[in-house]
Amino acid sequence: MNDPLINIQITKDEEINNTNNSFNKVNTFYLKYHPCKRSEVLVNNIINNIETYVFGVNSTLNRKNKLDKTKLRKCVLSFIQNINHSIKNDHDTILISLDCSYFAKPLIFNGKHIKEYQLSHRYMQILLDYMVQQEYIELHKGGFVGYNFNQFTGEQEIGETYPSEIIILDSLKELLSPHSTKISSEELYRSRSTIILKDANKQQIEFRLTKELKNLVETMERYNSQLCGRVRYDDYDKPLDLFFNKIFNGDFDKGGRLYEIKGAIQTMNLVDRAKLTIDGENVVELDFKCLHPSMLYEKEEINWRLWSGDDWSPYYTPLTYYPPKTMRALCKKAMLRLINTKGGVKGAAIGLNQDIAHDLKRIKEGLPSAFHLVESGLVGKGIAATEIVKSLSYENGPICHYFGTGVGLELQNLDSKIADYIVDRFTQEDEVVISIHDSFICRESLESFLEQTMIEAYEFVTGSKLNCYIEKK
């Protein structure tokens, strides 16, 4: 969640602190409210107190600058519903973008622009200022770290950005506690979009709900409903608060992958994912091996394993410039660039160089290297990105004509349909499956059922199972 706030730069220590936030202790602020009359007493009290705060004796404002109580009411409702939901799920931090352009974005719910639920940036700022002044919250404003050089435009752009953090204090918990059951926090969080369509600038756009899309919405609602209260992490004493949506890019033939809205699952490493339980049972994770390259070989009706031997994979290169761990990480990223970046081999090489530069920047900031450059002793040394990309393109000759064409979004759409099939199959059985793009997590006792369902889904979507290879994580 990006928050390109004014020129506020945060320190390395603050960045690391943000990066290491425990997923089960942090929530994200949903910029919407749910109409609710049951909490009117609390809402009216807060509005009256804010009015006193704004027009108090020490205020520079006067009564001529009247508050728009309708706009303020929406913000107060949204605030207490978001905070109440966080408290119920034991979150002590909630992330929010305070960039005014973020508030100005159209609020779209499953394709429909719902203007009446839009929140005011000005009145949210007033509300947060009041909450800070009353010591109900601490507010740590976000910003960005450094600048990046854009090789395509030749311009400097702001670096990584971070949202602001609302720290919930005990005094706020005490304020809301007597009203907790009357605050429609669950209704708010269950009324989030399950289908999102974005344009080329990654902005949400409106769309018409066809019969097919309505069925998809219903499937997603059933899926999210089944997740409630059934997934836990390690010894954390409450179920994880999970909610998935599907994000399409440009049209409904591109993208469509499942995303947990807080990134709670996608950002977990393999070790942490193994600590999940479903219905109190340990989990197993199965993965489609080399899914996107495999689907390209499927188009060519070539079994890549029979074609090149058991020791070969689409990530193979004969180059031995670097230790195997680093080489494999670089090759996987290079393949992603070849599939997802336009501009041929040159565009993919530029993209891989950008990934390496980003990794080096992370190392300088004390963060782990995705390419294992520190343990390989490669920090400060040049990486042969172009040679790696060219080698991969050569080794994958039968599918190289797809590289650099931006075919990745179409492949994401195919893998999203595979995920839909698997989710729908498990939902029919009242079982939980967690999708992480091309891998799936379920109860250990359902491993064989999951494997069979993954094979069925792959064949159903691609029309073949020549390159359907599944491995256990």
pLDDT for position 1? 30
Mean pLDDT value across the chain: 85
Residues 6+ apart with CB under 8 A from 68: 120, 123
Using the structure block, give the residue that is written with the tokens 């994000």: 247
Tokens of 56: 């108090």
Per residue in 86-144, pLDDT (tens digit) is: 898 888 899 998 888 888 888 899 999 888 888 999 999 999 999 999 999 999 988 76
Which range among 119-128, 320-329, 442-451 has the greatest average pLDDT?
Answer: 442-451
Q: What is the DSSP string of 174-188?
A: HHHGGGGGGS-HHHH
Q: Does the pLDDT value for residue 60 go beyond 70?
A: no
Query: Which element (helix H / strand E) includes 71?
Result: helix 69-88
pLDDT band at 33 (very low <50, low <70, confident <90, very high): confident
Flag the least confident range among 3-7, 231-235, 260-264, 427-431. 3-7
**If you search the block for the tokens 């440009």, which residue do you land on?**
250
Q: Is the pLDDT of residue 23 over 50?
A: no
Instruction: State how far the Cα of 144 lies from the Cα of 157, in Å rounded to an integer.
Output: 10
CA–CA distance, 14 with 16 (Å, rounded to integer): 5
Predicted confidence band of residue 279 (pLDDT cuts 50, 70, 90) = very high
**CB under 8 Å to 335, separation ≥6 — which residues?**
292, 293, 314, 315, 392
Across the range 147-156, mean pLDDT stands at: 47
* pLDDT (tens digit per residue) in 398-431: 999 999 998 999 999 999 999 999 999 999 999 9
Model-wide pTM > 0.75: yes
pLDDT tens digits, one per residue of 155-208: 545 456 778 999 999 999 999 999 888 887 777 877 788 999 999 888 899 999
